[in-house]
Amino acid sequence: MFKINENYLKLPGSYLFSTIAKKVSAYTEANPGSDIIRLGIGDVTQPLAPAVISAMHKAVDEMSDAATFHGYAPDLGYAFLRDAIAAHDYKARGCEISSDEIFVSDGAKSDSANIQEIFGQENRIAVCDPVYPVYVDSNVMSGRTGEYHPETETWSNVIYMPCTMENHFVPEFPKETPDLIYLCLPNNPTGTTITKPKLQEWVDYANKIGAVIIYDAAYEAYISEPDVAHSIYECEGARTCAIELKSFSKNAGFTGVRLGYTVVPKDLACGEVSLHDLWARRHGTKFNGAPYIVQKAGEAVYSKEGKQQLKEQVAYYMKNASAIKAGLQDAGYTVFGGVNAPYIWLKTPQGMTSWAFFDYLLEQANVVGTPGSGFGPSGEGYFRLTAFGSYENTLRALERIKKL
């Protein structure tokens, strides 16, 4: 008789954003006609940039003619896209990353969930707390996290690095020694980040203890301050300790287009074994490439027109972020983030729990946000709003919140 993967049964509840979707849909069914404003899940609302649209139409046309049709993509992704990434995201910033260290994928969510597969079962992971749920959940599914303690909402074999008001949301080196360190900077959910010298300390620490940093740079495009690194490879020594994950979801609005990439430098090895080779093997065996049309869309992101149009799109969302931050401060809230990231992280008022504030905001203002506790125990008492709504809806949501 077949057996299931028992690790799945250890997962408490459902995936955070599925739970939110279900709660909102239950509310709208009970209250038909209610005018919900969604600032919860980090989904974008602005249309794709004209340069991207035009590249996609062209690619669709190519698929209609046998002479220009494209079947299976190369394992690592098309050279036209990997070369554009290497030039614009790395060489232009002085980072030494070559095209063949870049693996094109269907998005950073899949990559951040799958990357743990190339590591042994016995590795201990360290995560910021609060954190994007996929890092921990994917390790739970593969049996690396020990037992769940419901009273503390923690896993026995996970090293938590609390990020709270008290330490200005900057993780500290843990007391126990981790093997894999997940860092998402600028941070989801807190919207905060760390300076480049601070990131250099993490790279030095990882090299010293022999750990790998899994660096999620999905929100890099939102960095506005000069002393913040856009890639971990701006730090010296990162090629021997860091894997970087990048997404096109937030810088180019590709949440429904699906494109991302992962960088595994060839210098990253465990003894004689190159992690680059292992990830290449996983990519070749368990994945079949991102669609040609989508890779052409990704190439257009790096065109002159694409870059200009997307700079404006990022500015549009960051105008929302500023409006949310200022509006909430006016209304007496304690607010963080929103300067180098499209997320606003607020302290819930009057000691409300995160989920109590979620319900309160949904029912009283018809505004959907994300409960901080959904990202980990240290997120309790916090709440995330995103800047990805339309400007009009963002202002309307703020008016409603101010009236509460």
- For the segment 113-152, give every residue that binds its own copies (CB under 8 A): 113-114, 117-123, 133-134, 137-138, 141
| In the complex, minimum distance from the CB of residue 79 to its own copies, in angstroms, rounded to a whole number | 13
Q: Name the phi and psi angles at 318, rounded to 5.
A: -70, -25
Q: Does the protein bind its own copies through residue 285 (CB under 8 A)?
A: yes
Q: Name the residue nearer to its own copies (CB basis): 310 or 346.
A: 310
Of the residues 28, 390, 395, 400, which one makes contact with its own copies according to CB under 8 A: 390
Helix axes 304-330, 292-301, angle to 10 degrees: 80
Q: Restricting to residues 67-86, which ones interact with its own copies according to CB under 8 A?
A: 69-73, 75
| In the complex, minimum distance from the CB of residue 404 to its own copies, in angstroms, rounded to a whole number | 27
Residues 255-274 vs its own copies: string with x where CB under 8 A? Answer: xxxx-----------x--x-
User: CB of 360 within 8 A of CB of 293?
Assistant: no
Q: Which helix (H) or strand (E) holds 336?
A: strand 335-337
Strands 370-371 and 382-386, bridge-based pairing: antiparallel
The Cα–Cα gap between 400 and 404 comes to 7
- Which of 292, 135, 97 has the alpha carbon at shortest distance from 213? 135
Report how many residues bind its own copies under the rule CB under 8 A.
82
Of the residues 30, 35, 66, 350, which one makes contact with its own copies according to CB under 8 A: 66
Q: Name the residue nearer to its own copies (CB basis): 255 or 348.
A: 255
Strands 260-263 and 269-270, bridge-based pairing: unpaired
| In the complex, minimum distance from the CB of residue 301 to its own copies, in angstroms, rounded to a whole number | 14
Say which DSSP state 67 is in.
T
Q: Does the protein bind its own copies through residue 11 (CB under 8 A)?
A: yes
Q: Restricting to residues 205-244, which ones interact with its own copies according to CB under 8 A?
A: 209-212
Q: Name the phi and psi angles at 165, rounded to 5.
A: -50, -40
Of the residues 40, 77, 107, 265, which one makes contact with its own copies according to CB under 8 A: 107
Q: Restricting to residues 324-353, which ones interact with its own copies according to CB under 8 A?
A: none
Q: Name the residue nearer to its own copies (CB basis): 94 or 120.
A: 120
Q: Name the residue nearer to its own copies (CB basis): 69 or 80.
A: 69
- Residue 361 corresponds to which tokens in the numbers above? 């905001």
Say which DSSP state 170 is in.
-
The Cα–Cα gap between 210 and 180 comes to 9
- Residue 61 corresponds to which tokens in the numbers above? 């046309």
Of the residues 36, 63, 170, 395, which one makes contact with its own copies according to CB under 8 A: 63
| In the complex, minimum distance from the CB of residue 109 to its own copies, in angstroms, rounded to a whole number | 4
Q: Give the neighbor-by-neighbor strand order of the sheet with 370-371.
A: 335-337, 343-347, 382-386, 370-371
**CA angle centred on 283, ends 278 and 285, rounded to 5°:** 95
Q: Does the protein bind its own copies through residue 276 (CB under 8 A)?
A: no
Q: How many residues does the chain have?
A: 404
| In the complex, minimum distance from the CB of residue 83 to its own copies, in angstroms, rounded to a whole number | 18
First to last CA, the chain: 57
| In the complex, minimum distance from the CB of residue 226 to its own copies, in angstroms, rounded to a whole number | 31
- Residue 64 corresponds to which tokens in the numbers above? 């209609």
Q: Name the residue nearer to its own copies (CB basis): 254 or 382.
A: 254
Q: Name the residue nearer to its own copies (CB basis): 93 or 281.
A: 281
Biggest distance spanned by C-alpha atoms of the chain: 66
Q: Restricting to residues 26-45, which ones interact with its own copies according to CB under 8 A?
A: 41, 43-45
Peptide bond into 189 cis (omega under 30): yes
Of the residues 12, 29, 30, 65, which one makes contact with its own copies according to CB under 8 A: 65
Residues 289-328 vs its own copies: string with x where CB under 8 A? Answer: xxxxxx----------------------------------
